[in-house]
Structures are given as structure tokens and as C-alpha cells.
Amino acid sequence: AAMFNIVNNCRDTIWPAAIPRGGGRQLNSGQTWNLDVPAGTSAARIWGRTGCNFDSSGRGSCQTGDCGGALSCSLSGKSPTTLAEFTLNGRFNLDSFDLSVIDGFNIPMQFSST
């Protein structure tokens, strides 16, 4: 198991998402989302969505990073999305992470370990 603290340092609201765990939520400027990654999760992606509107059932859309109109994502976000990717207990039992713009760039992102 692992914990990732996702902090919105942007002036605007973002809607971070994560797969394969499934998840997403609204994150106002200055807020933190403590993402608990269950044991056995080997790899995942985290990205920020912008310009989102969701109804009370969690259905809606985002201008960037939309994942099939869901607040809680089970699919990758639609390009462009800046990605944080991580592998837990990978080769040689090591953890690794990276930032990627392979799917485009939509927001600045920083990723670090503690």
C-alpha cells in the first residue's frame, strides 16, 4: 500500500483523477487529496482535469483530461493530459515514478517522494 498527497497549487480548481484504482474529485486551490493506493497495485496514472462540470450523480464533462464523463475515473483521460506515473515493487523490488507529456500537456505538475 502507498499514500499519495495530491495538492492543488494552481489558482483554479482542478479535478485530479487516478487509475487503475479508480477515483477523482474536485480540488479547489490549496486543497489536498490523500490518495490511498491499495496493496497489490503495481502501476498507476494520476492526472489533473480542467474545466469540469459534474451533476450530483458524478456525471459530466471536462475540457481537458475527461474520462468518459465520470467524476470517478475508470478510464484514462482524454488528451491533452500531463501524467504522473508510478510503479510499486517493480523490477528489483524498486518503486519508480515519472512525469510524462506523452499524452500532451494541460497543467504544470510536480511529483516527489518522501
At 64-80, the pLDDT tens digits run 999 999 999 999 999 99
Mean pLDDT of 27-36: 94
At 88-102, the pLDDT tens digits run 888 898 888 999 999
Collapsing DSSP states into helix, strand and coil, what is residue 92?
helix
* Spatial distance between the Cα atoms of 73 and 15, rounded to a whole number of angstroms: 11
Domains of the chain: 2-100 (2.60.110.10)
